[in-house]
Structure 1
Amino acid sequence: MPLDDRYQLAFKLYPYERSTDQDASAPVRHPVVVVGGGPIGVATALDLGLQGIPVVLLDDHEGVGQGSRAICFAKRTLEITHRYGCGQPMLDKGVIWNLGKVFHDDRQVFEFNLLPEQGHRYPAFINLQQPYFERFLVDRVRTAQAQGAPIELRGKNRVDAVDVLDDHVILDISTPDGPYRIEADWLIGCDGASSPLRKMMGLDFEGRVFEDNFLIADITMKADFPTERWFWFEPHFKSGDSALLHKQPDGVWRIDFQLGWDIDRTEELKEENVRRRLDAMLGPDVEYELVWTSIYRFQCRRMKTFRQGRVIFAGDAAHQVSPFGARGANSGIQDVDNLGWKLGLVLNGTASESLLDSYDVERRYGADENILNSSRSTDFITPKSKISHVFRNAVLDLAEHHPFARPLVNSGRLSVPCVYDGLPLNTPDALPNGPARTRPGAPCPDAPLEQGFLLDHLGGDFVLLGVGVDVPDTISAHGLVLRGLTVPASGDIRDRYLGEAPGAVYLIRPDQHVAARWPAFDATSVPKAVARAIGKD
């Protein structure tokens, strides 16, 4: 079966069905409405639904899209989706890759290995076409629905207008059966880079637009290429100013060609012209079939603020980066991870809605970090002046022979999870000589336990983690009941959570980020840190 047929089978995952809201005499109010059925929107609905929060997702389509689009999913993303219950199927389907090679012209400059240290459930990266990633999320939604999770997916429901009031939002929706209206206490915009919702509200991005054009070609081919990331600067096969090769599941390969600024997009997408570039790269003896092609330009921009009263934006609707470094979908899933527990606490009355301002603060911080790294990658890959081009090539020449120059080569700094350094929800570090990687604001690194992994026991609620220090089984603070977890101070746990300290106690947020840490349990300090972590300080 050709791959495009398999994508087609995955397309209509939630075909249009008439809802009871369309027959109501007055607009029905929902706690949360999500706009957009891509990976960020479905993940948002899943996160909230698994908390027992009723959520309606509106999508103007009826399921996942076609074409590979996002393909590199990072370890942190897999850890988040594991908590949702679908990380393992993604890993099973995906292509694990650890080795990358950088070429200049016809020479290999150097290679790098992303194989993470031992003691983690998930690898550094997998390659998995976005339609499959989305399908696994929707499959998990279906399982959750069968188990009673209050999630509703509405296909062919297009939002045409929004009216944002002080305490709710009114949405006008079009369907095959005509228009109807609903209300939402909270509206989450996950409707992508072009975001009709953002435009309806008269909002825009700030940042840089890059005019360079890149051709994507998904192909199936009979070739003995290894499962590695290959990147060429000024490739000898002359198919573009740069080129990138990735392996995907089902024998599909993703190839990107940098085309330049002034191109005829229609002409470049003609099959004979795409094949001309592929033939020059692959040689005459490689048999291949075209599956999907597209041309993209990109931006490194974000909204000024991600929260607009009762409307909150996430994913590409809130921020955009270049594809180099796999920072788009991965950062969007981190948005969901950050937003879900905070909105849950607001809706159940444990926290005030001001906690949602911390979503805006923390995820703008993460977006700025991604934009900085993405812009630097793009400037290195696509030098904008003669002198910057000379400098770039001098770095490549040095890197071929001198290891000190290799960190200066930037073919896309790969996505890493954000550390919320110095932001308001964190309690100042109180663990002398503790590892920097687990400081307040950092995501918890995984580590093996006698049974399973540490992250299996963290996330979804607040946890008090004792490392070589006993902590209570439960502790109540500010309307929350914290779970206590005591683990031995040995092996990878010691290296990652103790460092030179004899023992440690960590307060872990529901998104597995460190909120505070101390050398011992202190019944006074813990409630203060909880208050700060939920915005009551």
Structure 2
Amino acid sequence: MNKIFEVPLYPYARHADQDAHPPARHKVVVVGAGPVGLAAAIDLAQSGVPVVVLDDNDKVSFGSRAICFAKRTLEIADRLGVGHAMANKGEEWNVGKVFFGDRKVYDFNLLPEDGHQFPAFVNLQQYYIEEYLVDRVRALQAEGAPIEMRGKNRVTNVSDHGDYAALTVETPDGAYTLETEWLIACDGAGSPIRAQMGLDFVGRVFEDNFLIADVVMDADFPTERWFWFDPPFNKGQSALLHKQPDGVWRIDLQLGWDIDKEAEKKPENVIPRLKAMLGDDVQFELEWVSIYTFQCRRMEKFRHGRVIFAGDSAHQVSPFGARGANSGLQDTDNLIWKLKLVLDGDADQSLLDTYDTERLAAADENILNSSRSTDFITPKSEMSRIFRDAVLDLSEHHGFARPLVNSGRLSVPSVYDGSRLNSADQLPGGPARTRPGAPCPDVPLDAGYLLAQLGGGFTLLSINAEVPDGFEEAGVTVSSLALTTETHTALAERYLGDATCAVYLIRPDQHVATRMDRFDAPHFRAALRRAIGKE
């Protein structure tokens, strides 16, 4: 068993807040020290916002849990200081293979395009990511950043008082009260805070279950995503295989609906299933076993007064497509810059309503894709199964059928089309991939990559165009980054299209706010006001 599960990373220590009368009040409290909560806290601390993280645990999560982390997540993690640690430890993959029965029907490449700093995906156990994030917290603390972690601090009650939220926190030394101007709930799919506030999910629970097994073995399978429909070792069901670091392999086996979950998790039942898949000659050890039920659900809104939900506490999807943890990191990426503007007095609280609208739309997109994947993987009628099997047969020899195969539409960053923070697109012939609302694609530059140079503030990106060194509007400073396409072919393809020059206003979360074929001061000043909710 991996010892990382046993080491307290943020052990309980009594804090002065536990003896404070009246209760201590903080700017922001984050509940949950998983990847989403830690990402939110680090983002705040890097922006100079004081933040306290509370968790009822004191170490990394047991079991690998989330393992597939997409390129956009790595790009966000890079801005938080852990992207390269994740990429260096993780198993990189761009290629997936689809099997039907005992034969491969086709494969696909998720990143056929060159010129990106990170691969399409890395497979990496969640416990490593949590460890890297905690290490980053410690590094920030050493630099004097205002971030604090409290282990064995379990939130048992939350109440919203209009201009602050009050928390009851249980510890080994008893309960205490804490107040915060803003509470970010990242306390997982079973969110106690959501339950305490009488809130619930809306959506679908599918009548199916999957067994997850982390298996330690020495195998020569390539680092790819392999998905089977109706394999001989799990007839009538499906299976998934992923490689992780340290000789750990993730195996998912569909079990059906009417099962005894506790019995199915017992080694005497798991091991024969794995032997049927791997063969009797393959030696392996079980590291972690769990069973999940397909769910595609979300809260009706993510912001409730002073309490804001993010990650699994706000939405759940079935795991096909790796849209859970990846969307959670995009939640915090969307939220934190807006919250900082509000805290600094540069934006009204209504800006936080755009976190709701933008990330609700993203959650609906993820739920739609995950629901379609689940319906394709688990047909609900004989006619649906006949159609699915025919599509799989055709896909072996005919390319037109492959887009119809749905073993999980894999996570891609959301485009905030229609957001009220966007300004009109005024770049004739500009690429659709960099339209207002879209995330910026990376580009290799002479020194490093574009996204690293954009950083985490508002940026005026010019390509073959004259722009000022920067400007200030409504209390917000915009920096400039001037580039040319003389030696950067990818920059022209991804940001110019048919245009010869362009100027972009990029949000702190590296989504496009607006673009033009030149710098027009009134347009970009108005676009900035719009992007911070003042237009």
1:109 to 105, 108, 114: 105
Give 1:25 shift: 2.0
Distance 1:5 1:39 in 2: 19
Distance 1:343 1:349 in 2: 10
1:160 to 152, 156, 161: 156
Query: What SS is found at the alignment partner of 2:280?
Result: coil
**2:391 matches 1:395:** yes
Q: Does structure 1 retain, via aligned residues, the 8 Å contact 2:310–2:328?
A: yes
Distance 1:514 1:128 in 2: 29
Count of aligned pairs between the two proteins = 533
Q: Does structure 2 retain, via aligned residues, the 8 Å contact 1:104–1:396?
A: yes
Distance 2:139 2:264 in 1: 43
Query: What SS is found at the alignment partner of 2:425?
Result: coil
Aligned residue number for residue 50 of structure 1: 46
Query: What SS is found at the alignment partner of 2:349?
Result: coil
**Superposed CA offset, 1:394-427 (max 9, x none):** 1111111211101100000000000001110000
Distance 2:121 2:223 in 1: 12
Q: Does structure 2 retain, via aligned residues, the 8 Å contact 1:240–1:259?
A: no
Query: What SS is found at the alignment partner of 1:77?
Result: helix
Q: Does structure 1 retain, via aligned residues, the 8 Å contact 2:5–2:59?
A: no
Query: What SS is found at the alignment partner of 1:380?
Result: helix
Q: Does structure 2 retain, via aligned residues, the 8 Å contact 1:431–1:517?
A: yes
Distance 2:143 2:19 in 1: 27
Q: Does structure 1 retain, via aligned residues, the 8 Å contact 2:377–2:407?
A: yes
Query: What SS is found at the alignment partner of 2:26?
Result: strand
Aligned residue number for residue 431 of structure 1: 427
Distance 1:294 1:301 in 2: 20
Q: Does structure 2 retain, via aligned residues, the 8 Å contact 1:440–1:514?
A: yes
**Superposed CA offset, 1:475-526 (max 9, x none):** 1111011101100124111110001111000000000000000000011111
**2:484 matches 1:493:** no
**Superposed CA offset, 1:174-228 (max 9, x none):** 1000110010100111000010000100000111011211001111112221111
1:261 to 240, 252, 257: 257
Query: What SS is found at the alignment partner of 1:368?
Result: helix
Distance 1:398 1:366 in 2: 32
Give 1:68 shift: 1.1
Q: Does structure 2 retain, via aligned residues, the 8 Å contact 1:239–1:281?
A: no
* Structure 2 stretches lacking a partner, 5+ long: none
Aligned residue number for residue 41 of structure 1: 37
Distance 2:236 2:533 in 1: 50
2:245 to 229, 242, 249: 249
Distance 2:439 2:202 in 1: 28
Q: Does structure 1 retain, via aligned residues, the 8 Å contact 2:234–2:253?
A: no
Aligned residue number for residue 309 of structure 1: 305
Distance 2:132 2:206 in 1: 32
Give 1:115 shift: 3.0
Identity of aligned residues (%): 66
1:6 to 3, 12, 19: 3
Aligned residue number for residue 197 of structure 1: 193
Query: What SS is found at the alignment partner of 1:524?
Result: helix
**Superposed CA offset, 1:444-489 (max 9, x none):** 0000111111111113110001011121112111101110110012
Aligned residue number for residue 227 of structure 2: 231
Distance 2:446 2:234 in 1: 53
State how 1:305-384 maps to structure 2 within 5 Å: 305-384=301-380
**2:51 matches 1:31:** no
Aligned residue type for 2:349: E
**2:418 matches 1:422:** yes
Aligned residue type for 1:242: S
Distance 2:349 2:44 in 1: 16
Aligned residue number for residue 72 of structure 2: 76
**Superposed CA offset, 1:300-338 (max 9, x none):** 011001000111000000000010000000000000000
Aligned residue number for residue 522 of structure 2: 524
Distance 2:248 2:236 in 1: 21
Aligned residue type for 1:519: D
Query: What SS is found at the alignment partner of 1:253?
Result: strand
Aligned residue number for residue 15 of structure 2: 19
Aligned residue number for residue 221 of structure 1: 217
Q: TM-score, normalised by structure 1?
A: 0.98
Give 1:98 shift: 1.5
Distance 1:162 1:66 in 2: 27
* Structure 1 stretches lacking a partner, 5+ long: none
1:63 to 55, 59, 65: 59
Q: Does structure 2 retain, via aligned residues, the 8 Å contact 1:116–1:124?
A: no
Distance 1:320 1:238 in 2: 26
Q: Does structure 1 retain, via aligned residues, the 8 Å contact 2:459–2:479?
A: yes
Aligned residue number for residue 184 of structure 1: 180
Q: Does structure 2 retain, via aligned residues, the 8 Å contact 1:158–1:174?
A: yes
Query: What SS is found at the alignment partner of 2:133?
Result: helix
**Superposed CA offset, 1:218-260 (max 9, x none):** 1111222111111110101236711000000001100000000
2:134 to 124, 131, 138: 138
Give 1:142 shift: 0.8
Q: Does structure 1 retain, via aligned residues, the 8 Å contact 2:56–2:153?
A: yes
> Cα RMSD over matched residues?
1.0
In structure 2, relative to structure 1, the CA distance for the partners of 1:457 and 1:203 (3 Å cut) is same
Give 1:385 shift: 1.1
Query: What SS is found at the alignment partner of 1:179?
Result: strand
State how 1:269-308 maps to structure 2 within 5 Å: 269-308=265-304
Aligned residue number for residue 534 of structure 1: 532
Give 1:148 shift: 1.0
Q: Does structure 2 retain, via aligned residues, the 8 Å contact 1:239–1:280?
A: no
